[in-house]
Structure 1
Amino acid sequence: MLEAFYHEGNDDLGCLLLHGFTGSPSEMRFLGEKLAAYGWTVNGIMLSGHGTTPEDMVRTGWKDWARDAEAGVRGLRRHCSRVAAIGLSMGGLLSVYLAEKGLVDAVISMNTPMVLQDWRARLAGLAKPFVHYVAKAEVSGRLAAERFAYGKIPLRPLDSLNKAVPGVRRKLGLVRCPVLVMQSRRDKTVSPRSADILWRGLSGARTERIFWENSGHILTLGPEREAVALETARFLQTMLGAG
């Protein structure tokens, strides 16, 4: 379930699905299947250093993940006339990055980190020479069964992600394609203030914003997943006329 996935659909719209930091395509699979039912081409890629071990991830960083995302767009462009980037958490940040570069036709950004809830995460750069990993809180129940993610966080890649956020934030005004900003109220990883920062920064784009009241950080597998998929499809149909 953790592997990358691909659903071949029409040659009009391709959906690039981007998972989060230390996660895997498993957290985007449900959404991908729902979007594929509309006849769209869907590609859920695996970002470098993910889906194996935290030790593999240590050797990767933002430049690798950005390169992966750009390659995913190029792959879809070979078959589809338009591409939408749909990302969760770090995947949302990558989606916005792609829009800033003018590479995609629409973005759905889910729980994208502009501000993290835990201030200690912002100290990764200071801690990484002394501490290489920090443990994550254990996850149980349906989310644990459906999602593959590392049980510990490598601090060197986290520092790379932290350093990328300000660069993406500074260039939000470059985005011209439609953007749907989704944010969970119960997100314990990304501060809901992040959605407000995105909303204000995306002044040059047609932007919608939705807050989800009952979901946590993994919005795509939370209790409102069905509604999240419906809103994603509605936005693509409304903004792009995708059939």
Structure 2
Amino acid sequence: MPLMPGAEPYHHQAGEVGVLLCHGFTGTPQSLRPWAEHLAGHGVSVSLPRQPGHGTTWQEMNHTRWEDWYAEVDKAFKDLQGRCAEVFVAGLSMGGCLALRLAEVHGEAIRGVMVVNPSITNDVPLLRLAPVLKWFIASVPGVANDVKKPGVTELAYARTPVKAAASLPELWSLVQADLGKVVQPLLVFHSTEDHVVKPKSVAIIRQKVPQATIEELTDSYHVATLDNDADRIFAGSLDFIRTHASVPLQRD
């Protein structure tokens, strides 16, 4: 299946500190590429995989579910772990949910977690009907490209594949149930105006992960990694890594 131009994964080998970045639901590595390149430019080894069913067609994505997306980022984590002394995980939206799941499963093997507008609960009432709707409707209008900055476009599907979306509640339930296992330092970037993910996800994290640091973004919408506050995310995450890594970055 041909890839959408710009949807390619990105990898960069540098020093002993690695970061795995997870893109969001129906999105592509393009939404996190500037973040990945910023970290790589400061001596961080970076892995930004493309999750199955993403970056091709929404019809193909309807043949995948959350276990497939998690398996891909888990594989990338283990690969990065084999090449680096320490690994951090990060993600946007549903990718933030996957990053939290990795932290729950792998525990102290993950040095820290950074998420941007994470999605860990159902914000779309229609999704409650998805297990039934998937037999009658293949897709619904998409949720991509929620960006405030003029002239910026997120590379993502214009349609949401219903069968794939129907698997999300199971992932959300697992992550919420195990949030107490997130013992790593956690940095959360939260847009105060987000038209995709409601504040409830961050509220749950604030309640169940007491060590979480919440940074509010006041000039970006959901895809903040491509928006007006992107530089703040990049700089803040680099400071977070430098603070919590026990080995120096390649260029430090």
Q: Under a length normalisation based on structure 1, what TM-score does the superposition of the two structures give? A: 0.92
Of 2, 5, 9, the match for 2:14: 9
Q: Partners in 2 of 1:51 and 1:138 — Cα distance?
A: 13
Count of aligned pairs between the two proteins: 238
Of 178, 184, 188, the match for 2:185: 178
Superimposed CA distance per residue, residues 182-215 of structure 1 (whole angstroms, 9 cap, x where no aligned partner): 2111111111221121121124xx3211111121
Shift of 1:162: 2.0
Of 96, 99, 122, the match for 1:95: 99
Q: Under a length normalisation based on structure 2, what TM-score does the superposition of the two structures give? A: 0.89
Could you tell me which residue of structure 2 aligns to residue 209 of structure 1? 214
Of 152, 160, 166, the match for 1:143: 152
After superposition, where does 1:49-198 map in structure 2 within 5 Å? 49-101=53-105, 102=107, 103-136=109-142, 139=145, 142-144=151-153, 147-198=154-205
| 8 Å CA contact retained: 1:73, 1:104 | no
**SS of residue matched to 1:78:** helix
Could you tell me which residue of structure 1 aligns to residue 206 of structure 2? 199
Shift of 1:20: 0.2
Give the partner amino acid of 2:152.
L
| 8 Å CA contact retained: 2:26, 2:144 | no
Identity across the alignment (%): 31
Unaligned runs of 5+ in 2: 1-5
| 8 Å CA contact retained: 1:182, 1:195 | no
Q: Partners in 2 of 1:18 and 1:142 — Cα distance?
A: 24
**SS of residue matched to 1:199:** helix
Q: Partners in 2 of 1:39 and 1:221 — Cα distance?
A: 21
Could you list the runs of 4 or more consecutive aligned residues of structure 1 that deviate by over 3 angstroms after TM superposition?
115-118, 137-141
Shift of 1:137: 6.0
Could you tell me which residue of structure 2 aligns to residue 41 of structure 1? 45
Unaligned runs of 5+ in 1: none
Q: Partners in 2 of 1:236 and 1:126 — Cα distance?
A: 43
Could you tell me which residue of structure 2 aligns to residue 32 of structure 1? 36
Give the partner amino acid of 1:143.
V
Q: Partners in 2 of 1:117 and 1:229 — Cα distance?
A: 27
Q: Partners in 1 of 2:86 and 2:237 — Cα distance?
A: 16
Q: Partners in 1 of 2:94 and 2:144 — Cα distance?
A: 20
